[in-house]
A = this chain, B = another copy of it.
Amino acid sequence: MELSAETSDRPRRRGREERQRAAPAAATRPQPRRPFLPTEAVSADQLEAIHAASLQVLEEIGIDVLHGEAKAILKAEGAHVDPSSDRVRFDRGLVESKIGLAPRSFTLHARNPARNVVLGGDYLAFGSVASAPNAADREGGRRPGNRRDYQNFLRLGQSLDAIHLWGGYPVEPADIHASVRHLDALQDMLTLSDKPIHAYSLGRERNLDAIEMARIARGIDQDTLEREPSLFTIINSSSPLRLDTPMMEGIIQMARRNQVTVLTPFTLAGAMAPVTLAGAVAQQNAEALAGLVLAQSVRPGSPFAYGGFTSNVDMKTGAPAFGTPEQMKAALVGGQLARRYGVPYRSSNTCAANTIDVQAAYESVFSLWGAVMGGVNLLMHGAGWMEGGLHASFEKMVIDADLLDMIANFLMPFRVDDDELALEAMREVGPGGHFFGCAHTQARYRTAFFAPMISDWRNYETWQEAGSPTGYDRANQLYKARLAAYEEPPMDPAIREELAAFVARRKEEGGAPTDF
């Protein structure tokens, strides 16, 4: 089978190789890697206690699985499926038997191979904001998501190297009819950008369309697609302890074709999860393990990532809170759990701020702190997320891209060798001198330090003469300049045509059902 695919697809594959050579591979920077150990917020014993509590939840309380085929698959694996309800209980032996099957690390392929990312190990991949119902910038204010803003976010994100992949639609293009939205939106994503993509699990047809479009965009055959994961889906459980129809369908369709499933329970402590953090994380873990069991039952070894999204609500109002100390702690423990299960770890860059102010910045960096020190591999909502995910901001996207670039720089190994220790420079300069002019500095100063996009390091007087711009002002200017300078990444005309033809045909067929 493998061999026949190799043979039959030779012409197409050669075409792909030619395109690869034409691709702007040199434009991208190496993917960041974590050079130090992640931070362990709980001891090995405590971690086992959380694991054990999750197993007890799965065994004694169980999970409501709102999907017939999923229940049948789980039943065949030995899960206890209540015939009179949707409740499924998992023996610990069943859960343990699925741990270790998923790969520790894998490559998520983009249509431009220079944009491929590794998910797992010590690698970090940064995703754009995703799934915001509203868009905002300073001039236009906050408005419902639409295709024009959606496309502009794609263009902006494509132009920012700090953003490695799309974690979904940066903003919902809600002016496209729901039956065909996924077709137009994915066509936009695959043509305006050449970075790895995400597909929403909103019914079988949408998953299958997305898989096919990813295959067409990469110019590969079905077998290659199954060998090379080319898109991912975020599966959110309906916490507490419920996995709903489209999400189960998404796991089944994606895992069956060896595409990437990221299971992220939506466990806001105090609302959809216990008010105590250990309880919220234990519930997160139970839900994630239930998804792991299903994915690995559908296809052992299919790529799977463990998502942690535990934060808390404001107990006075019930409003979700982000970038909190609780979220940071849960992010550390979530990473420990993902590593215990040997799968990549997903976390997020989040904030609850309504505008581009100090809160937006400090909540984001706190959430990044928890994620990065927790050992994140896939950072969702890395750039552009505002207001607890209710709006995507153009200015925030460039600010966050700068934060992500700073983190990538922070994660570059601390080099210690004779050149870096610079004893000769110290000898040359001597006590009381300065290093501006010495040869060691002159040879390195252009690239020695991180150069920010947003930070303004001018002195107060110069800054004041320039009109006292804030970071918000600079981000506003920068995002517009980036959009103005945007260039669409190259795409083989035959592929572009095939993609358009697929979209046209699926639209003619009526798109996908809207009663998912």
Q: A residues near B, CB below 8 A?
A: 35-37, 39-42, 46, 49-50, 53, 56-57, 60-64, 87, 142, 238, 240-242, 269-279, 282-283, 312-315, 317-321, 324-326, 328-329, 332-333, 352-366, 369, 373, 387, 390-391, 399, 403, 406-407, 409-410, 412, 414-417, 419-423, 425-427, 429-436, 440-441, 444-446, 448-450, 452, 454-460, 463-464, 468, 470-472, 475
**Contact of A419 with B319 at beta-carbon distance under 8 Å, contacts A270-B445, A329-B410 already known:** no
- Judging by beta carbons under 8 Å apart, are B142 and A353 in contact? no
CB contacts (< 8 Å) of A314 on chain B: these are: 449, 457
B328 touches A460 (CB 8 A): no
Which residue of B329, B436, B449 is within 8 Å of A414 (Cβ)? B329
Q: Which residue of B lies closest to A323 (CB)?
A: B455
- Are A421's CB and B278's CB within 8 A? yes
Q: How far is the CB of A21 from chain B (nearest CB, A)?
A: 34
30 A–B contacts, CB within 8 A, in A order = A41-B414, A53-B423, A57-B423, A60-B427, A61-B430, A64-B432, A87-B431, A241-B432, A269-B448, A271-B435, A271-B436, A274-B422, A274-B435, A274-B440, A275-B444, A278-B420, A279-B425, A279-B440, A314-B457, A317-B458, A321-B449, A321-B457, A324-B450, A354-B468, A356-B358, A357-B470, A357-B471, A359-B361, A362-B365, A365-B365
Looking at the assembled complex, report how far the CB atom of A229 sits from the nearest CB atom of chain B, in whole angstroms.
30
Q: Is the CB of B468 within 8 A of A333?
A: no
A391 CB contacts on chain B under 8 angstroms: 460
A461 to B: closest C-beta gap in Å: 10
Select which of B240, B319, B362 is within 8 A of A433 by beta carbon.
Answer: B240
Question: In the docked arrangement, what's the CA distance between A168 and B303, Å?
Answer: 55
With most chain B CB atoms within 10 A of its CB, the pick from A358, A407, A472 is: A358
- Once A241-B426, A279-B426, A416-B46 are accepted as A-B contacts, the answer to whether A359 and B471 lie under 8 Å apart by CB is yes
Contact A362 B359 (CB under 8 A): no
Known: A325-B409, A455-B359, A471-B357. A240 touches B430 (CB 8 A): yes
Instruction: Give the contacting residue for A270; candidates B369, B430, B436; CB below 8 A.
Output: B436
Known A-B contacts A272-B435, A352-B455, A472-B357; the reply to A362 vs B364 at CB < 8 A is: yes
> A421 CA to B317 CA in the complex, in Å?
24
B37 and A39 contact, CB distance less than 8 A: yes
Q: A319-B459, A427-B60, A448-B312 are in contact. Are A358 and B472 (CB under 8 A)?
A: yes
Task: Identify which of B53, B61, B444 contacts A276 (C-beta below 8 A).
Answer: B444
Which of B142, B278, B457, B470 lies in contact with A355, CB distance below 8 A? B470
Are B275 and A435 interface neighbours, CB within 8 A?
Answer: yes
Provide the residues of chain B in CB contact with A275, threshold 8 Å: 422, 425, 435, 440-441, 444-445, 448
A359 and chain B: residue at smallest CB distance: B471
Q: Return chain B residues, CB-CB under 8 Å to A333.
A: 414
